[in-house]
Amino acid sequence: MKPLYGTETSKALSYLGPGQTPRPMIEALAQVKLAAILAQQETCSLYPAELFELLQEAAAKVISGELNEHFPLDLAQGGAGTSLHMNICEVLASYVNRAAECRAGQSPQERLDPLEHLARFQSTNDIFPTSVILMSYRFLERIEQQVIHLQEQLVKREQLYEQWLMCGRTEMQDALPITLGQVFGAWAGPIERDRWRLHKLKERLRTIPLGGTALGTGFSAPRAYVFAAERHLQRITGLPLCRSQNLCDQVAHVDNLAECARGMGLCADNLYKIASDLILYSSSFCREIRHHEVAYGSTIMPDKANPILLELIRGLAMECSSTADLIGLYARSGQLQLNANLPFLAEQMIRLASRLEKALTTASGPLMEALVPDRERLEANLTSSPALINTLRAALGYHGLKKLLPQIKAARISTVQELADWLEAHTELDRAFLDNWSSPVTLTTMKKDFR
């Protein structure tokens, strides 16, 4: 098909070079344009009936992705998104004019102009930011659901391993007993906070500058059109978007998008921490949670499995964190009444959301299946560490335990029960006390007195 874009898009191509507008951006922009078109027609009957029908058809095709090839501009562009706005205006107008000509068999008497018709009552400065907000809101919705799924997986394992004792560690040193369930429960904590943080971010992201036109003053846009455009966009998207009560602010500032990116970045930071913990637990030094072989770990060493899923998550998380920081830089670069770097910000938002979704789906799916705790190893590491002995301070005293440590280490004890038997034989502690002491509940929960 002959390109539907026109002169202004061709000019942009001459200095940007060929590329492709990302699909999420095209869809969001087309939905905002459709809302504007419907509002134009409702409030001032701008289009003849036949052309209006074709215009809705054209917008639907852009939204569905059928006309993606006619959007050849990368988001890395100057002009605050003007070239992309010109692009969609030209595509919609060209589609309608060609279709009308085919129907009539000759050049139609009435033709649509990309600017006189498709951009009336609109500016790039309210249309494009509204599109970026719409796109980002959808990203938040998807990511929120993936965070919920990961939280559910972690809570499931918190319950599954609630009786599995292991060694808790601080500053990379053995400390006190903990259950593996408590470890998974601790990981679920920040993910739960991510869940509610993302949910709250949606509330602050849903305000849009649609109707503010160039500066947020609403110049040239009839009040009836502005209200109608907002209503139609809500219906088209099914989202609780609402027009900002301070349109000059909404056009000039994009800190709401930076906040959205920071929320995603925090989620990535939490994934990084969890993956880092699991790399230690699965390492040759610890071997408490095995990472099944997903692929060969070496071209030279046959018996080597790498924690590639954990490394993938960490790598993606680092990229997400740096991208969130970059979005913050773009957000603060606005000057006076506009942020001209919004196309760059939008490009990075797409990258951030894509990488974070991949990290989350990897964590909640393949990773959870690949992790297999080794209960015997957990217990062996616990009993060979000072962690269990540290819990007896109240019963045997700080200095008394210090004297016993060399003997306990020399005994090479490998289970909790063996340690209880040794303590019964070598200290004043009786069997009733030791049976109570050695239970996971006693060792890992608060109590007034375990005697």
Cβ burial 269-284 (10 Å sphere, 16+ → b, else e): bbbbebbebbbebbee
Confidence of residue 108 (pLDDT cuts 50, 70, 90): low
What is residue 395's predicted lDDT score, i.e. its pLDDT?
87
Residue 298 has pLDDT above 80, yes or no: no
More confident residue, 115 or 448: 115
Contacts of 430 (CB under 8 A, 6+ apart): 424
What is residue 405's predicted lDDT score, i.e. its pLDDT?
84
3 state DSSP class of 412 = coil
- Read off the pLDDT of residues 75-95 as tens digits, 9 standing for 90 and up: 999 999 999 999 999 999 999
The most confident of 204-208, 388-392, 442-446, by mean pLDDT = 204-208
Q: Give me the helices (H) in 308-341, please.
A: 308-331
Q: Half-sphere exposure of 321 toward its Cβ, with a 13 Å CA cutoff?
A: 14
- Read off the pLDDT of residues 93-102 as tens digits, 9 standing for 90 and up: 999 999 988 8
Confidence of residue 451 (pLDDT cuts 50, 70, 90): very low
Give the C-alpha separation, 318 to 220, whole Å: 45
What is residue 299's predicted lDDT score, i.e. its pLDDT?
65
3 state DSSP class of 242 = strand
Give the C-alpha separation, 182 to 161, whole Å: 8
Q: Half-sphere exposure of 391 toward its Cβ, with a 13 Å CA cutoff?
A: 32
Q: What is the mean pLDDT of residues 395-419?
A: 85
What is residue 105's predicted lDDT score, i.e. its pLDDT?
61
Check residue 172 and give left, alpha or beta (phi > 0: left; psi -120 to 50: alpha): left
Residue 301 has pLDDT above 80, yes or no: no
Give the C-alpha separation, 128 to 237, whole Å: 16
pTM exceeds cut of 0.85: yes
- Read off the pLDDT of residues 27-63 as tens digits, 9 standing for 90 and up: 999 999 999 999 999 999 999 999 999 999 999 999 9
Measuring CA to CA, which residue among 432, 407, 373 is closest to residue 158? Answer: 373
Torsion of CA 418, 422, 423, 424, to 10 degrees: 100
Give the C-alpha separation, 38 to 30, whole Å: 12
Residues in the chain: 451
Residue 116 has pLDDT above 60, yes or no: yes
Q: Give me the helices (H) in 105-222, please.
A: 124-160, 180-205
Give the C-alpha separation, 303 to 301, whole Å: 6
Measuring CA to CA, which residue among 370, 354, 189 is closest to residue 278? Answer: 370
What is residue 450's predicted lDDT score, i.e. its pLDDT?
45
Confidence of residue 253 (pLDDT cuts 50, 70, 90): very high
Confidence of residue 441 (pLDDT cuts 50, 70, 90): confident
Give the C-alpha separation, 125 to 113, whole Å: 20
Give the amino acid at 364. S
* Contact assessment for residue 44 and residue 225, using Cβ atoms and an 8 Å cutoff: yes
Give, in order, the Cα–Cα distances in Å from 65 to each of 32, 71, 206, 437: 15, 10, 24, 65
Give the C-alpha separation, 59 to 70, whole Å: 13
CB-count exposure of residue 33 (10 Å: 0-12, 13-18, 19+): buried
Structure letter (DSSP) for residue 73: -
